[in-house]
């Protein structure tokens, strides 16, 4: 489905300017100071599209928080409103009674911080972790990562972008020394209708399970580091002793440096296409005083040549970027996942371990496992899967938003 067709489906005949807002009467009982929106139809999900909206308060502007009512004027919830976006309403609460914006953000942020500090006790193992994970923490369209004294706000919605000042002020109550970085992709800015000016270059160092990494919160992929792999990195290190390790799509060198510093791997090769990331791998290896072979090259030809040269590794980590980013790209992404894993199995020695990942939210664990099974068969290898895992617990997802469970890891052993 093309982007234009996708827009037609979600708009369902509604003009780009949004639902009708002239000559309307407000829903019965609406007494909140915030604008209102009335639904034409609804679903059990927490994301509502323009085709589901009947009419809207003339005061409602893109980025506002609105009270939402169903077609019978029964309270439905409160939401971030943006009629210009494919997702016109992002639900904040399931009720509207007594909603107060300041109290809402203060309570949600306090709960998110307390979960990481008091329940997960992450401060004992790292000064880098996810503070807010979008819908999983009840703050849709927002991701917040902590890197030591730097806190990165990544916006996926206009409504959350407009609340940036309030969010930073409230976070200061929990992290008094925090400095803030704001980020949003060009795609999000275009779709949601805001412009985020470029900020200054920011670098810092973090410590995770005793391993030190240099992080650039103002640049790089996502927010500059992948906190979601913390537990998986540690688990890989425990299996690395004495093995030759190949870390594919290494980014900052996380798996490889863990394997060498904590796991006592025999040798480690990190493969990364991005030149800046490859240079960062070398810096991180130096910071941790370990020897890593950082290779700046495309993973696919590198692995094919390694197979031709009959190289074998005892531990391989495959952690590619999102290979399926849209429904239109599913077939191409499936082939890439299959090819990457087939090449991995070609390079895996007998009894070796391969940990393969997918961060494509559109791909289920069952589908990913089918790709890996196809890859093993194509490589002529008998493989057992002995573990499945995902993102760390600081990346919770709501039961009403299963797409939040995006990261999948299969732990394979060649027999």
The whole-number pLDDT of residue 232 equals 98
Evaluate whether 317 touches 347 at the Cβ level (below 8 Å): no
Tens digits of residue pLDDT in 125-137: 999 999 999 999 9
Which residues, including other chains, have CB under 8 Å from residue 345's CB and lie 6 or more apart?
Answer: 354, 375, 376, 379, 381, 383, 412, 414
| CATH class name, domain 3-93 | mainly beta
CB 334 within 8 A of CB 370: no
Residue 198: its pLDDT value, please? 86
Query: How much is the pTM?
Result: 0.90
pLDDT at 19: 61
Class of domain 226-414: alpha beta
Residue 93 pLDDT greater than 50, yes or no: yes
Q: How confident is the model at residue 190 (pLDDT cuts 50, 70, 90)?
A: very high
Distances (CA, A) of 89 to 42, 78, 158, 409: 11, 9, 11, 32
Q: Cβ contacts of residue 279 below 8 Å, gap of 6+?
A: none
Domain 101-192 bears CATH identifier 3.30.450.30 = no
Give me the pLDDT at residue 194, please.
96
| Residue 59, token pair as written in the block | 């005061």
Is pLDDT at 21 greater than 70 in this prediction? no
Query: Which burial class, exposed, middle or buried, applies to 313 when counting CB atoms under 10 A from its CB (0-12, 13-18, 19+)?
Result: buried
The CB density around residue 45, as the number of other CB atoms within 10 Å, is 14
Q: What is the DSSP-derived secondary structure letter of residue 394?
A: T
The tens digit of pLDDT for each residue in 35-90 reads 999 999 887 778 999 999 999 999 999 999 999 999 999 999 999 999 999 899 99
Cβ atoms 376, 338 nearer than 8 A: no
* Segment 264-285, tens digit of pLDDT: 999 999 999 999 999 999 999 9
Instruction: Quickly tell me which residue has 């306090």 as its tokens.
Output: 110
Please name which of 250, 170, 180 lies closest in space to residue 218, comparing C-alpha atoms: 180
CA-CA-CA-CA torsion for 386, 390, 393, 396, nearest 10 degrees?
-140
CA distance 53 to 89: 9
Tell me the DSSP string of 135-184: GGGT-TTEEEEEETTEEEEEESSHHHHHTHHHHHHHHHTT-TT-EEEEE-
Strand pairing category for 53-56 and 36-39: antiparallel
Report which secondary-structure segment, H or E, holds 190.
helix 186-192
Strands 211-215 and 204-208: antiparallel
**Domain ranges (residues) in the chain:** 3-93, 101-192, 226-414
Across 279-288, 369-378, 400-409, least confident range? 400-409
CA distances from 393 to 117, 120, 132, 280, 409 (A): 12, 8, 11, 26, 14
Token pair belonging to 296: 């700046």
Tokens of 294: 């950082």
């Amino acid at each position: 489905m093309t982007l234009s067709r996708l827009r037609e489906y979600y708009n369902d005949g509604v003009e780009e300017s949004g639902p009708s807002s002239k000559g309307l009467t407000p829903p019965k009982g609406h007494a909140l100071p915030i604008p209102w929106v009335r639904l034409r139809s609804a679903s059990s999900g927490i994301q509502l599209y323009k085709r589901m909206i009947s009419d809207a308060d003339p005061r409602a502007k893109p980025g506002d928080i609105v009270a939402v009512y169903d077609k019978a004027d029964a309270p439905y919830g409160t939401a971030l409103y943006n009629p210009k976006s494919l997702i016109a309403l992002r639900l904040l609460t399931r009720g509207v009674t007594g909603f107060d914006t300041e109290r809402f953000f203060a309570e949600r942020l306090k709960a998110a911080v307390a979960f990481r500090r008091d329940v997960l006790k992450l401060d004992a193992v790292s000064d880098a972790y996810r503070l807010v994970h979008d819908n999983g923490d009840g703050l849709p369209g927002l991701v917040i990562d902590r890197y030591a004294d730097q806190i990165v706000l990544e916006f996926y919605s206009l409504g959350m972008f407009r609340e940036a000042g309030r969010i930073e002020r409230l976070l200061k109550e929990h992290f008094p020394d925090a400095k803030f970085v704001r980020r949003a992709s060009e795609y999000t800015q275009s779709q949601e209708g805001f412009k985020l000016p470029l900020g200054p270059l920011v670098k810092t160092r973090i410590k995770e399970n005793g391993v030190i990494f240099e992080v650039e919160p103002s640049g790089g992929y996502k927010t500059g580091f992948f906190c979601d792999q913390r537990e998986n990195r540690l688990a890989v290190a425990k299996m690395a002793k004495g093995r030759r390790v190949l870390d594919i799509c290494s980014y900052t060198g996380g798996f490889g440096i863990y394997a060498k510093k904590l796991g006592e791997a025999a040798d480690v090769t990190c493969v990364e296409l991005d030149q800046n990331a490859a240079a960062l791998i070398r810096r991180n290896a130096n910071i941790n005083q370990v020897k890593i072979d950082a290779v700046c090259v495309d993973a696919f030809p590198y692995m094919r040549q390694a197979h031709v040269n009959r190289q074998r590794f005892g531990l391989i980590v495959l952690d590619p970027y999102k290979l399926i980013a849209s429904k239109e790209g599913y077939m191409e992404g499936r082939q890439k996942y299959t090819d990457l894993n087939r090449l991995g199995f070609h390079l895996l020695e007998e009894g070796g371990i391969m940990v393969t990942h997918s961060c494509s939210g559109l791909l289920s664990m069952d589908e990913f496992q089918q790709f890996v099974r196809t890859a093993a068969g194509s490589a002529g290898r008998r493989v057992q899967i002995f573990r499945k895992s995902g993102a760390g617990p600081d990346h919770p997802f709501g039961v009403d938003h299963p797409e939040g469970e995006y990261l999948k890891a299969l732990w394979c052993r060649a027999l």
